[in-house]
Amino acid sequence: MPRLNRAISSRSAKTAALAAASSLALVTGLFAGSGLAQADSAATPAAGHAYRHGAVPKLDPATGRAVTLPGTATTSAANLAYGGAIDGIGVTTGAPKVYVIYWGAQWGKASTDSHGLVHLAGDKSGMAPDQQSFFKGLGTGGETWSGVMTQYCQGVATGAQTCPSTAAHVGHPTTAGALAGVWEDTSAVPAAASGHQIALEAIKAAKHFANTTAAKNRNAQYVITFPTGTNPDNYQSQGFCAWHDYNGDTTLSGGAATSPYGDIAFTNMPYLTDAGASCGQGFVNSPGTLDGVTIVGGHEYAETITDQNPAGGWTSSNGSENGDLCAWISSGQGASQNITLGTGKFAVQSTWANDFNNGAGGCEASHPVH
């Protein structure tokens, strides 16, 4: 999903002055005391590069609006349509498995708490255990945020906007959660890793976790998480917070990466708290230091399971994915909010549901599991 830009620092500082923008339920928020308006994100592919799928645009604190990424268009009011699959893969059809990789010696010494979460001495804001706890909690506590994604499927005609009950739908996390593994790779991390280098790290992670067949990677995604002070894919100047792709995308900066283990889905996840409000800090809670970690992380997760090999899954007519169409909504239908999982409370954004509002579509944060 497109990369996130700065959010205004405190939810409590907002007023309720919002305007609806098209049938996408896109909104603009006005913040008390700041005079800043906040708008939904631009479309994806983003930032002038096709590989930055679902890039979350940053928020500009000077205007309160999402940064317009180069090469993007205005979001489309059309529902998502099926892209026909790439290498036979359109969506994640089994229970999603998320592997989180902390790349670089800068993360520091690792320890594990009583909940099985990995803490890292170089993680100044506590991003790592929060990220793990979120993924570990998906599918637990009767959560229905993930249910929105389960309406999508594969094996239908290219261009289809609905799925029959007999189709292979997006899987829901098991009651054990979506987190399947955590690895601190202390090898040298590039200061500004290219898309190709990030893909190679994801392939390396697949080997580390013994996911050495295409079948084992069919429902897996690898979240390559960078340490503080790094600038993966130049996110600091390119106006995004994160994006996802798969190794075979020939438009990746540096080119596609060859995998002996089947197609590998991965996310480029910078150390988001370095970007502060630009990448979601304080967007839902106050001070909300880690809000962006799960808002952005959830955005990319949701887009990966509905468009695993972009853009063979579900996208709008202009290339936006389910998270892109609902990014940075501050109030009203589809507003970002806290959800409660078996592992705690986390800030998330809503995602696009074709079946909302009698098929007109819209942004939802809860939906029955298909």
pLDDT one-digit tens code per residue, 181-229 = 999 999 999 999 999 999 999 999 999 999 999 999 999 999 999 999 9
Q: What are phi and psi of 167, to 5 degrees?
A: -75, 165
Q: Give the per-residue SS3 of the chain.
A: CCCCCCCCCCHHHEEEEEEEECCCCEEEEEECCCCEEEECCCCCCECCECCCECCCECEECCCCEECCCCCCCCCCCCCCEECCCECCECCCCCCCEEEEEEECHHHCCEEECCCCCEEECCCCCCHHHHHHHHHHHCCCCCCCCHHHHHHCEECCCCCCCCCCCCCEECCCCCCCCCEEEEEEECCCCCCCCCHHHHHHHHHHHHHHCCCCCHHHHCCEEEEEECCCCCCHHHHHHHCECCEEEECCCCCCCCCCCCCCCCCCEEEEECCHHHHHHHHCCCCCCCCCCCHHHHHHHHHHHHHHHHCCCCCCCEECCCCCCCCHHHCCCCCCCCCCEEEEECCEEEEECCEEECCCCCCCCEEECCCCCC
Looking at the domain assignment, is residue 108 inside a domain?
yes
Average pLDDT of the residues in 315-334: 93
Per-residue pLDDT at 318 exceeds 50: yes
Does residue 271 lie within any of the structural domains? yes
Within-domain flag for 264: yes
For residue 3, being part of any structural domain is answered with: no
Answer yes or no: are the C-beta atoms of 352 and 322 closer than 8 Å. yes
Residue 166's contacts (CB-CB under 8 Å, 6 or more residues apart) are none
Residues 242-269, mean pLDDT to the nearest whole number:
98
* Position 12 pLDDT exceeds 80: no
How much is the mean pLDDT over the chain?
86
Residue 104 lies in a domain: yes
Q: Over pLDDT 70: what percentage of the chain?
A: 82
AA identity, residue 245: D
Average pLDDT over residues 78-97: 96
CB 22 within 8 A of CB 39: no
Q: Is the pLDDT of residue 10 over 50?
A: no
Bond into 311 cis (ω within 30): yes
Residue matched to tokens 């991965």: 266
283 in a domain, yes or no?
yes
Residue 44: pLDDT above 90?
no
In the predicted model, is pLDDT for residue 64 greater than 80?
no
Confidence of residue 134 (pLDDT cuts 50, 70, 90): very high
What's the pLDDT at 69?
A: 55
Range 165-191 average pLDDT: 97
- Tell me whether residue 236 is exposed, middle or buried, using C-beta atoms within 10 angstroms of its C-beta: 0 to 12, 13 to 18, 19 or more: middle
Q: How high is the pLDDT of residue 52?
A: 87
What pLDDT does 50 receive?
A: 78
Range(s) of the domain holding residue 312: 11-364
Among 243, 130, 234, smallest CA distance to 182 is for: 130
Average pLDDT over residues 305-327: 95
Average pLDDT over residues 82-91: 98
Question: Quick one: tokens of 124?
Answer: 């100044």
pLDDT at 56: 85
Q: Which two tokens stand for residue 37?
A: 């308006």
Share of the chain above pLDDT 90, in %: 77
The pLDDT of residue 72 is 42
Q: List, in order, residues 6 or more apart from 154 with CB less than 8 Å away.
A: 82, 85, 89, 90, 91, 93, 167, 168, 313
Work out the pLDDT band at 85, boundaries 50, 70, 90. very high
Place 62 in a pLDDT band, splitting at 50, 70 and 90: low
What span, in angstroms and rounded, lies between the C-alpha atoms of 301 and 8? 24
- The answer to whether position 5 is within a domain reads no
CA–CA gap between residue 90 and residue 153 (Å, rounded): 8
Tens digits of residue pLDDT in 13-37: 332 322 333 332 332 222 222 222 2
Query: Given this model, what pLDDT does residue 29 score?
Result: 29
Q: Is the pLDDT of residue 74 over 60?
A: no
Structural contact between residues 262 and 213, judged by C-beta atoms closer than 8 angstroms: yes
Please count the structural domains in the chain: 1
Confidence of residue 77 (pLDDT cuts 50, 70, 90): low
Inform me whether the pLDDT recorded for 8 exceeds 50.
Answer: no
pLDDT for residue 299: 98
Write down how long the chain is.
370
